Structure 1
């Protein structure tokens, strides 16, 4: 980008921490950012060059916002599809709104994956009393019932251990469209984040191993320790999906590695992903940089990587009485000294209120080996656990 050129203005729909970190990456690349935010107290509004306050359901406001930027991207798939399409008619939106439409509804998502021949867990769609009754007769239990829309971090889900529990579980979720999925006996949960440029250039950050606690991501480890065969299959699947969607931007593909050697797709997220935070320190260019480069029509750049581990810092770690360090924005001093060639960094989103399960920030450790990075990240994490315990409010 020549210095004489007008800076590229990236429009961000969604104002959470993913948009915040995208805005910071854009700034490091010489771009400007304009965020459509619901409040000036939300993470992206703290760092964007320009902020428009409004409601994402306001089509006229979105269209006006779109006219003010050079491209649009998102930090969530749960956006009003028709309004996003009208905004995209004014300025390019990446990924394409039709990809959002698929990813924001599990029935559409599972149908799309099945059409491609992508392996997924056994599934049944529940949209009526009749389908619910049919599933009790033909589906294998135990299973998990998930709302088709607006479920994340374990929300909108019910475990159904016996067929007789299905009807009550469906009613408990509001009689709304759901997917019923068979339990998967898995060895590992992992993700692959694909970046794809407007030219079709495609990169991945490799397979990232994920550890969940209470249905919320706790740690992400890169590179994966899965067998080379399973990693190659995971990469093949993710790249196949991205190419089939004609992706421009980012796509995170969440997967299971089963105990019998299969790779199954769990969910798609056409945006930056929590597991990709490790790339901020472990890679030459992070997932956020790749997104900015892709949507602005540039090449994706370097992919060099070192072993790294990311650990989420939730609101459980910050009870009343603990110094509100989470109100700061950006990278802060490491909580523990690192040895030469290694580093532990803390990043906070600037959220003003800590609540149990709420993501307030994360730690990233990098080292010469995954084992060293994991040990460093865990030691740093325990500093926060101990501080919360001393304050008497930790729920960890």
Structure 2
């Protein structure tokens, strides 16, 4: 299980059901690799691009072992796959992304302890195991704040925003479900993220910094280049590099930040996998996120990343489809990608659009003038 170069004809495994797997499989096939996909849903569109399809639960160790032993290398395309599953696969094949970083980021307490060890700015927080803990912690953290389970992946249903004291009682319905953190709400002007790749020797390659916008905790818009000063971009990359240097990880990953009005940067999260904000690099740079990720893992030379064209990416949700039809026949600088998820896997994004223009202001004007995404709000 060494780190030898892989060539066309070798076998790459992809585990997961998200939209990242679709593009990853397509890119791997274009580069000449045989692709085996392990998915939990037989309707997963990633399976359509697989040479070999395996459908099974992540708890099915026999199927997982069979999958791993067929592959020269396995990739996970989402940070939501259990670190325990990845650690099990590592017994039978190479998984260069590893399981250690997943283990850190899937537990909010471990993640924050890691950031504190790196001396990186994070939102003030407290560990919560009872309703009384919430009352005590609010006195030091202040309003507004948000209660979140330490395990990620539950979504808004296990979170509670606390804007005033009377909101604390609402936490009683979820507080008995496990350990939580209470985190201060950081007022910010922009959300920024940087996608980068780290090779086997620890060398880093950065994509341009992205300005992102969210709707109901889901990424909706990503624009490059971000409308920030050069010193802010340099600091984002410096901090991200420091963070990644403390991880055991090979491949592409995202580090996201809040930028406050005063110019302070607070780290929001690490995504040790492909992230959909990186779809914007399909057109914005001279190499896509997916190809650079694959090049890193199979030990091809990495592309010297350059911005080719200012670009924006907006996600297409089911409620956007009718309005998108109008733009379909009007816009000659909009580029569409659809995921073809079956009804059994909804709700999922329908796809995304890449918008090209001379600068980020024109990109925003094009998107906003349609009225399709008027309800974009901060996460």
For 2:261, the equivalent position in structure 1 comes to 259
**Aligned mates of 2:97, 2:207 — CA distance in 1:** 18
Distance 1:8 1:267, change over 3 A: same
* Residue 311 (str. 1) matches residue 314 (str. 2): yes
Q: CA deviation at 1:232?
A: 1.3
Cα deviation digits, residues 288-314 of structure 1 (max 9, x gap): 111111111222214122211000101
* Residue 90 (str. 1) matches residue 92 (str. 2): yes
Bigger shift: 351-360 or 361-370? 351-360
Of residues 122, 125, 130, the one that matches 1:123 is 125
Alignment of 1:40-59 (within 5 A): 40-59=42-61
Judge conservation of contact 2:131–2:171 (CA < 8 Å) in 1.
no
**Aligned mates of 1:120, 1:163 — CA distance in 2:** 24
For 1:363, the equivalent position in structure 2 comes to 353
For 1:149, the equivalent position in structure 2 comes to 151
Judge conservation of contact 1:36–1:52 (CA < 8 Å) in 2.
yes
Judge conservation of contact 1:316–1:357 (CA < 8 Å) in 2.
no
Unaligned ranges ≥5, structure 1: 326-332, 387-396
Q: CA deviation at 1:359?
A: 1.0
Judge conservation of contact 1:315–1:355 (CA < 8 Å) in 2.
no
Cα deviation digits, residues 296-348 of structure 1 (max 9, x gap): 12222141222110001012224xxx6999xxxxxxx965343xxxx310100
For 2:21, the equivalent position in structure 1 comes to 19
* Residue 351 (str. 1) matches residue 341 (str. 2): yes
**Aligned mates of 2:258, 2:250 — CA distance in 1:** 25
For 1:191, the equivalent position in structure 2 comes to 193
Choose between structure 1 and 2 for higher RCO, CA contacts under 8 A separated by at least 6 residues: 2
Number of aligned positions between the proteins: 367
Distance 1:5 1:25, change over 3 A: closer
For 2:233, the equivalent position in structure 1 comes to 231
For 1:336, the equivalent position in structure 2 comes to 330
Distance 1:337 1:30, change over 3 A: same
**Aligned mates of 1:351, 1:323 — CA distance in 2:** 19
Distance 1:241 1:38, change over 3 A: same
Q: CA deviation at 1:278?
A: 0.2
For 1:162, the equivalent position in structure 2 comes to 164
SS of aligned partner of 2:177: coil
Give the TM-score of the pair, scaled to structure 2: 0.88
For 1:178, the equivalent position in structure 2 comes to 180
> What is the alpha-carbon root mean square deviation over aligned residues?
2.7
SS of aligned partner of 2:201: coil
SS of aligned partner of 2:364: helix
**Aligned mates of 1:170, 1:69 — CA distance in 2:** 47
